[in-house]
Amino acid sequence: MSAAPPRLPADITAMHLGIFDLDGIFRHKRVEAAKAEKLARDGYSFCEVLHAWDSAERTWSDTDTYIDRPCTLFPETLRRWPFAEGAGVWIADFDGEFGEKSPRNQLLRQLERAADMGVTPLSAFEFEFFLLQETPDSLRAKAFRDLEHYAKANRTYSLQSAAVNEELFADFTACMTRLGIGLDSLHTELGPGCFEAPLKAEAGVKAADDAALFKNFAKAFFLRRGLTAAFLAKLRPDLPGQSGHFHISLRDAGGTPLFADPDAPDGLSELARHFLGGVLALMPEMLALPAHTVNAYRRMVPGAWSPTWASWGVQNRTCAVRVITDTPEATRLEFRVPAADTNPHATMAFVLAAGLHGIETGATPPPPQEGSAYLVTPEPARRFPRDLHAAADRLEASDTARALFGDAFVDHLAFARRHEALEAARQVTEWELRRYLEIL
């Protein structure tokens, strides 16, 4: 709790106070500005159910009482609510032992580790998403089948689609700008109604906050226009997967980039190689952090523009980590594992924790992949778990994950992800009916 929270700007009369849950959904309440200031000064609380239910809002237990838990409001996260004048947004999170379950709190802990080591991450997410000509009513009327895409004739990097949708995306950019989120670019992508938005790089936690808010507010923006923005990893078997790539580099206290060494064969400094080595080594056992949904594993197959094992290469888009060395200033790692459905705070917490662990232990990456990573049969230690249940088991058994994130977080996330996987295992899909019903 802040001892002397700043007063809100005079023109703000209402505040939206929210906490990100395990799926990265912004759960919030609207209060008057005076009450928000009082809560920031005297203490805030939120119902613990955010860490006691699944993505369908079904609670895991019938015995819990779902009490309110103490929280911290972060006044430095103030943003403008983009859908009305005179309103703002503050991010909050749970305190103390209960707060250890939060991916955002875990990220803050890793940022403190980085600061103690004299480095600051500069990072950004980029998201692909489909726009559907659907509303909540039409989705349910169709039982989520035979969905209509917006911009059906869309092509990758299409001038025509950009021209036709100029007004819509100008308004969308203005919405994000008002929210304090910078778009590095915005363009059409592969598939009907598919678009990509790389976000501008930011220091510290703001990169993950921007990414999480971007997805939440994008869905709201397009829903207000009768459209549904889908940030699924895989929408249909015949469509490409949707990525949520994460770019990261480190800077020293003076802002000097630390990942570049123009004299090295791969352009990477020794520090960057250790960071990369840590990410690659821990990726398979901690995959449940950046890939936390059942759907995420539908994308991690050959041909879906998604990695399938812990690989890296310079400018190689078939690898789990693509090293970009265009200039020393822009030298960075692109973590290509996350899909559009990723929780940005969990993804950034993993990459930073694993990379710093690599620096501390002197981890060394294997040789870079020169050709397609899809043509390689990797050694067992570098293979990804094939589904969410297996990923949850690997995370739970990881001593390193427990050392980096603590038992409370690892046990909570593993339990939640295993629950999600078991819910999926109970379903009978249309594919199974078409495949087996007439012959078995």
Same domain, residue pair 70 and 146: no
Asked if residue 201 has pLDDT above 70, the reply is yes
Same domain, residue pair 259 and 314: yes
Q: Quote the pLDDT of residue 163.
A: 79
Q: Give a yes or no: residue 437 inside a domain.
A: no
Q: Quote the pLDDT of residue 160.
A: 75
Range of the domain at 215: 111-425
34-50: per-residue pLDDT in tens?
Answer: 999 999 999 999 999 99
CATH number (domain holding residue 92) = 3.10.20.70
Q: Give a yes or no: residue 3 inside a domain.
A: no
Distance CA 303, CA 305 (A): 6
Domain stops at, among 41, 76, 99? 99
Same domain, residue pair 90 and 130: no
In this structure, the chain runs to a length of 440
Residue 252's pLDDT band (cuts 50, 70, 90)? very high
Beta bridge pairs of residue 248: 123, 333
Average pLDDT over residues 198-220: 97
Q: Quote the pLDDT of residue 215.
A: 98
Same domain, residue pair 94 and 134: no
DSSP state of 383: B
Same domain, residue pair 93 and 206: no
- Cα 326 → chain centroid: 25
Q: Give a yes or no: residue 287 inside a domain.
A: yes
Q: Which two tokens stand for residue 11?
A: 């023109």
CATH number (domain holding residue 387) = 3.30.590.10
Q: What is the mean pLDDT of the chain?
A: 94
Same domain, residue pair 46 and 170: no
Q: Which two tokens stand for residue 42?
A: 């005297």
11-22: per-residue pLDDT in tens?
Answer: 999 999 999 999
Q: Which two tokens stand for residue 388?
A: 């969410």
Q: Which two tokens stand for residue 416?
A: 């939640």
Average pLDDT over residues 144-152: 91
What pTM was computed for the model?
0.96
Asked if residue 2 has pLDDT above 50, the reply is no
Check if the beta carbon of residue 13 is closer than 8 Å to that of residue 33: yes
Same domain, residue pair 181 and 49: no
Beta bridge pairs of residue 332: 324
Q: Quote the pLDDT of residue 5.
A: 58
Q: Give a yes or no: residue 90 inside a domain.
A: yes
Domain count of the fold of the chain: 2
State the residue for tokens 């943003």. Answer: 79
DSSP state of 204: T
Same domain, residue pair 58 and 121: no
